Amino acid sequence: MSRARRGERRRDWVVGVNSVLAVLESGSRKAYKLLISRGEKDRNTENIIKVAEGMGIQVDYTDRRYIEEQTGTYPHQGIALLVERFRFTDIETIVEISKRDKSPIVMLDGVEDPRNLGAIIRTSEAIGASGLIIRKARQSPITTVVAKSAEGALEYLPISQVPNLAGALRKMKDEGIWAVCLEEDASDDIRDVDIPSPFILIAGSEGRGVSRLLYELSDFSVRIPITGRTPSLNVNVAVGIALFYLNKV
């Protein structure tokens, strides 16, 4: 494999105004090239172009179809940034932040929809989570779609990817992190429990839920009461509600 080809595999596209601006403002990842659809003249786009040029980033003007071909993503708002691959954070750093700030951690057990993952990243960062833990297998990777759905939050929320969630959970519990499992059939109403900080909220996919092992390792199991006819909530909505109720900092 050529050096150029290996370099391409170490890069990703970030699309959309908010996500591109977050990369540039945070400095979280090295940026290589900015694609702008001809005719994009709004204030946000002009600001991004100015910032990119000030950072010495190549700016290419093209059409929307070319951007879609390059990124494989639509809608992209006529803007795309070629950046280095997302860098994961080690669990120890996330635990340290959580213990210092008394802020929650979120663990996802097999959320395979990239839009759901991006939305959870956005929600978790907005509510003040110290980090997110995901597994390597049967889990959406960090993609252009995830970054777009996160609307910039991906660049600010530490994320750790681990081969074994149960092992990671045991390690965090040994560090004094309380484990809270979000389950539809749990006996405890989330409104009635008092969870000590810091804690980790564990949520599963809408189809399979949380694995039995993670459930058994949890210190608490809570449910979100549903009074309507809808049988369940989208996992992003459920995580947002749970963090709102449980995070008392």
Domain span at residue 18 reads: 3-84
Task: For residues 70 and 124, state if they share a domain.
Answer: no
191-228 pLDDT, tens per residue?
A: 999 999 999 999 998 778 899 999 999 999 999 999 88
**Spatial separation of the C-alpha atoms in residues 52 and 36, rounded to whole Å:** 11
Backbone angles phi, psi at 111, to 5 degrees: -85, 105
* Low-confidence stretches of the chain (pLDDT beneath 70): 1-9, 249
Into how many domains does the chain fold?
Answer: 2
Pairing of strands 105-109, 199-204: parallel
| Final residue of a structural domain among 40, 69, 84 | 84
pTM equals: 0.92
Task: For residues 107 and 59, state if they share a domain.
Answer: no
- Residue 10 is predicted with a pLDDT of 81
Task: For residues 107 and 228, state if they share a domain.
Answer: yes
Phi-psi region of 95 (alpha: psi -120 to 50; beta: other; left: phi over 0): alpha
Q: For the domain that residue 18 is a member of, what is the CATH number? A: 3.30.1330.30
Q: For the domain that residue 145 is a member of, what is the CATH number? A: 3.40.1280.10
Task: For residues 77 and 157, state if they share a domain.
Answer: no
Count of alpha carbons within 13 Å of 42, Cβ hemisphere only?
8
CA-based end-to-end distance of the chain: 51
| Final residue of a structural domain among 84, 103, 136 | 84
